[in-house]
């Protein structure tokens, strides 16, 4: 399986170009980020070219973070700011060769919020279409993002069907979905035609995807069975020093059907024990 390092959390204490190089050294297949705008696009593109990694996606700006804003696109009356943020994100994504832009909705509710969201997303899709960029929307859970407009998969699917643009997709984050709704693999199967990217982290602590409520061995196996081939986004918290725990990565890169050494369980081959065991055991 392939994995993408989300540099909003992993190696977040390093300048973005250095974080990209760290992701390459760690064995990731791609990278993604949150808000790269303080780094010139040319510097980011240079690091991507040097490592051979692709930037899968980045976010639109949140707005005024000091007062708790978490996106602009579902805020009635803020259309000019929302579209400026969309333009900025698409321009940066195009400059670095990123595949997608996550348009952040913001904290709001009601019919006027939906209208603003639909109109701004339509604008984003039309601006991105000629550049080959996918627009992503991500439902966020009410613990991490209280008051966030896009708070369920059903709402995301309704908005996508209403807009009916081929480059509008769901970012399916297993961490958020498990907290909001549960039943993650059935929801994945049902919504697969609308999904553009998936992300993982443990639940409830949002650590590495190797413990907690979700059995990621099963999740990854189901993704493989469903034909998912794109890199899976690793968006998890790393602790105070920002150095990620990567013990899970090599195990899952081998794939659900791979074998691992019965000795240490991480190298993907037999050693002096001479015994190979199923990685799922």
* CATH code, 219: 3.20.20.150
Q: What does the pLDDT average to over 230-242?
A: 88
The confidence score (pLDDT) of residue 64 equals 97
| 138 is known as an active-site residue | yes
The confidence score (pLDDT) of residue 109 equals 97
What is the SS3 assignment for 217? helix
Answer yes or no: is 149 within a domain.
Answer: yes
The confidence score (pLDDT) of residue 239 equals 79
Helical pair 41-51 and 16-26, crossing angle rounded to 10 deg? 20
Q: What does the pLDDT average to over 10-17?
A: 95
Answer yes or no: is 263 within a domain.
Answer: no
Answer yes or no: is 275 within a domain.
Answer: no
Answer yes or no: is 161 within a domain.
Answer: yes
Tokens 């279409």 correspond to 129
Catalytic annotation, pick one of 32, 126, 138, 181? 138
Q: What is the pTM of this model?
A: 0.89
Tokens 């050693």 correspond to 271
Q: What does the pLDDT average to over 53-79?
A: 97
Answer yes or no: is 278 within a domain.
Answer: no
Answer yes or no: is 125 within a domain.
Answer: yes
Least confident residue range of 127-141, 176-190, 248-262 = 248-262
How many angstroms separate the CA atoms of 279 and 159, rounded? 39
| 162 is known as an active-site residue | no
Report residue 10's pLDDT band, with 50, 70 and 90 as the boundaries. Answer: very high
Provide the domain limits for residue 131: 3-245
Answer yes or no: is 117 within a domain.
Answer: yes
Mean pLDDT, the chain, rounded, equals 90
Domain count across the chain: 1
* 216 close to 175: Cβ distance less than 8 angstroms: no
How many angstroms separate the CA atoms of 24 and 30, rounded? 8
90: phi then psi, degrees, rounded to nearest 5: -65, -40
The confidence score (pLDDT) of residue 242 equals 65
pLDDT above 60 (res 125): yes
Catalytic annotation, pick one of 213, 235, 250, 272? 235
pLDDT above 80 (res 60): yes
How many angstroms separate the CA atoms of 69 and 43, rounded? 28
3-state SS, one letter per residue, for 63-111: CCHHHCCCECCCCCCCHHHHHHHHHHHHHHHHHHCCCEEECCECECCCH
Answer yes or no: is 254 within a domain.
Answer: no
For the chain, what percent of residues have pLDDT higher than 90?
Answer: 85
């Amino acid at each position: 399986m392939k994995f993408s390092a989300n540099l909003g959390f992993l190696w977040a204490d390093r300048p973005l170009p250095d974080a990209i190089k760290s992701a390459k050294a760690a064995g990731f297949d791609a990278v993604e980020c949150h808000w790269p705008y303080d780094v010139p696009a040319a510097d980011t593109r240079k690091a991507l070219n040097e490592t051979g990694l692709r930037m899968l996606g980045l976010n639109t700006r949140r707005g005024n973070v000091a007062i708790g804003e978490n996106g602009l696109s579902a805020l009635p009356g803020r259309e000019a700011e929302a579209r400026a943020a969309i333009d900025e994100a698409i321009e940066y994504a195009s400059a670095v060769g990123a595949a997608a832009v996550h348009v952040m909705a913001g904290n709001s509710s009601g019919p006027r919020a939906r209208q603003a969201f639909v109109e701004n997303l339509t604008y984003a899709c039309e601006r991105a279409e000629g550049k080959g960029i996918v627009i992503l929307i991500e439902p966020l859970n009410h613990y991490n993002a209280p008051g966030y407009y896009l708070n369920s998969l059903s709402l995301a699917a309704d908005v996508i069907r209403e807009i009916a643009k081929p480059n509008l997709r769901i970012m399916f984050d297993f961490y958020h979905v498990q907290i909001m709704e549960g039943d993650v693999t059935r929801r994945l199967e049902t919504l697969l035609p609308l999904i553009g990217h998936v992300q993982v982290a443990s639940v409830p602590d949002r650590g590495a995807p190797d413990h907690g409520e979700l059995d990621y061995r099963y999740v990854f196996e189901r993704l493989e069975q469903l034909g998912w081939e794109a890199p899976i986004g690793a968006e998890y918290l790393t602790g105070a020093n920002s150095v990620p725990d990567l013990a899970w990565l090599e195990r899952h890169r081998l794939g659900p059907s791979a074998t691992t050494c019965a000795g240490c369980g991480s190298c993907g081959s037999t050693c002096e024990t001479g015994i190979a065991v199923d990685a799922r055991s």
